[in-house]
Structure 1
Amino acid sequence: MAALFSRRKLVIAWSIALAVCGVQAQTLDGPLTLVVGYAPGGSTDRMARLIAQQLSPRLGVPVTVENRPGDGGRLAAQQVKRSPAGQNILMLGNPAVMVVAPLVFKDAGYDPDKDFVPVSQVSSYDFALAVSPKLELDRVMFLLGRLWGHPEDAIFGVPATGSLPHFFGLMVGDALSIQPQIKGYGGSAPLAADLMGGKLPIAIDTVDSLYAQHLAGKVRILAVSGKERSSFAPTLPTFRESGLKIDATGWNAFFAPSSMPPAKVQLMAAAIREVMQDAGLRKASDALYLKPVVSTSAETVQMIKTFRQQWEPVVRRSGFAP
């Protein structure tokens, strides 16, 4: 009986030890900072804050979001790049910062491949082609017919020149066999205002920037860029459903400075994957019109590679220079 009791104590001791090791394996050695290169309030910022709330209990440390706006997100990348190896810091980056900027700037102030390590993609988003209600069109093919007859209407408004909607607009133009005039605005708000007011016939922007106005009947989204319809906008057809062989998505992903130890990167990646499977967070992502993504570091690397293969030729052909 004494031997049995001793064995039981040994089993319990080992169980406690393994449990303790498991907890320690999922914690960091200090607080974690999630850097967003844009001002508070945008969809990227709100996604970072949703994730921070879920990450903290999983990692066992405080997790805060720090906004470092400036230069279209490049300022944050430049600062995170210089972070010391021991600092727990991640940047929530997007294609504008990690793919487009290094292509169009002679020196973006960082090298996305050398200075950063992809940790985990957390969301994707679609682009939308929308028209002013004054055009009284509800299908892409009807728009194409109008543009062939009225080429002066082939003006695509985008939130900013050099933005992803700008280059997606060029993709749409290629698919429609037209050469649109790209008109850049100082953000999504003035773009939507001109579209609603009839001063602009056509706009290309992210779905989250136009969907509320579409629901209110102030603009009309004709197609979205995903391979399949969005769960939060199931009535909106894709470009492929509309007869155009085109699809494209943007994304948000966490990046660590290359100085961070690989074991720590993998620890954070595993915790983020767990967070992105949470039902509550996925529902909240729908409210932001973002598609939540569960991704490993290797899958994120491959995603970025595929994205570059699709977008880099478009960016280079455009001849765009800031």
Structure 2
Amino acid sequence: MQRRIFGKLAAGLGLSAGLLGSGALQAQEAHALFPNKTPLRMVVGYPPGGATDRVARIVADRLQARLGSPVIVENKPGAGGRLSAQYVKNAPASQPAVLLANPAVMVVAPLVFPDSGYDPEKDFRPISEVNRYEFGLAVASAVPVKELPHLLAWLKANPQQANFGVPATGSLPHFFSLMLGEAAKVPVEVVGYKGSGPLLTDLMGGQIPIAVDTLDTQIAQHEAGKLRVLATSGERRSTMAPGIPTLKELGVNLVGTGWNTLFAPQSMAPATVQRLSQLVQEVMKEADTQHKFAASNLVPVVSSAQETEKMLKAYRAQWSPVVQRSGFKP
């Protein structure tokens, strides 16, 4: 009996030593990356409570556990997210910061705001893409179509009805609507709203016939029968709406998604960026992270710095010409 108890005690001590060793390694990791356990700030260009903020808080919490030093989410809203990019670009080395940003900040804004105050390609290094999201093409219940081919035929026959509501002018849904018009050869008149809430209200009320927005904003009302999502914009069907076909499935050769990606300022050491990328990838593989993302209708992505750089180049090649052709001016 004494031997068995000792064995259990020894095992317990071994476990404790292992946990302490893990903690010591985390402390060494934090000290190596950021001297004196200086907090890492994860800057978000939008107020608390939105989708990008939720992503930041999930990732920051798990990254902090792996890094062994504080990771603080800092909200810097303003100028459509551009202030956050300017802030991180100019962050002093003594106060390390990374930026969690979407294409509106890192692709669209520099094209339509020449004086945005930053160059996404020259002033930042990608760390890792952390999530991706699709758009939904939805129609009001009163619109007399139930499938995408019928909608396209209806638009060609009734061009005066081709009003596509989007949550904001200059947003990704704005430019995706234009891309859809080009790909499907149908007229598109973009109508900008002040957010997804007012757009959804008008769509359900029939004040706007068609809407393009992120799928997560539409799916609950689609399931409740208050609007119809005819197609999604991803490469494959969405996990949150597997019953809705993609545009590609329905014969429109178009794929368009948004993302949230972590960026480091150019001043951050390349070795630090690479190590942060490795840690973020580990975070994104965790079951807890994936569960929390799924609960928020978010699609997690595991991506290295190199893979993220490749994605960004392809993304800019797809979207930049559309933004420029649109002639959009804020």
Deviations 1:158-193 (A, max 9, x none): 111111000000011012212211110111111111
**2:197 counterpart SS class:** helix
**1:230 counterpart SS class:** coil
How many correspondences in the alignment? 309
Aligned to 2:181: 173
Deviations 1:52-107 (A, max 9, x none): 11111100011121111101100111111110123221110110000100011121
- Tell me if 1:285 matches 2:293: yes
- Tell me if 1:262 matches 2:270: yes
**1:161 counterpart SS class:** coil
Using the TM superposition, name which of 19-28 and 194-203 deviates more: 19-28
- Tell me if 1:26 matches 2:34: no
**2:262 counterpart SS class:** strand
Counterpart selection for 2:198 from 190, 201, 204: 190
Distance 1:100 1:19 in 2: 42
Cα pair distance change 1:235/1:260, threshold 3 Å: same
1:315 is displaced (CA, Å) by 0.6
Structure 1 residues without counterparts, runs of 5 or longer = 1-14
Distance 2:326 2:190 in 1: 11
Distance 1:157 1:268 in 2: 39
Aligned to 2:88: 80
What residue identity is the alignment partner of 2:305? Answer: S
Counterpart selection for 1:101 from 109, 124, 134: 109
Structure 2 residues without counterparts, runs of 5 or longer = 1-16
**1:294 counterpart SS class:** coil
- Tell me if 1:59 matches 2:67: yes
**1:26 counterpart SS class:** helix
Map 1:1-322 to 2 at 5 A. 22-23=25-26, 26-27=29-30, 28=34, 29-322=37-330
Distance 1:86 1:269 in 2: 20
Distance 1:199 1:20 in 2: 58
Distance 2:134 2:295 in 1: 14
Distance 1:254 1:126 in 2: 19
Q: 1:139 touches 1:242 (CA, 8 Å); kept in 2?
A: no
Distance 2:149 2:169 in 1: 26
State TM-score, norm by structure 1.
0.91
Q: 1:161 touches 1:183 (CA, 8 Å); kept in 2?
A: yes
Q: 1:40 touches 1:67 (CA, 8 Å); kept in 2?
A: yes
What residue identity is the alignment partner of 1:173? Answer: G
What residue identity is the alignment partner of 2:222? Answer: H
1:22 is displaced (CA, Å) by 4.8
Distance 1:207 1:314 in 2: 21
Distance 1:142 1:21 in 2: 63
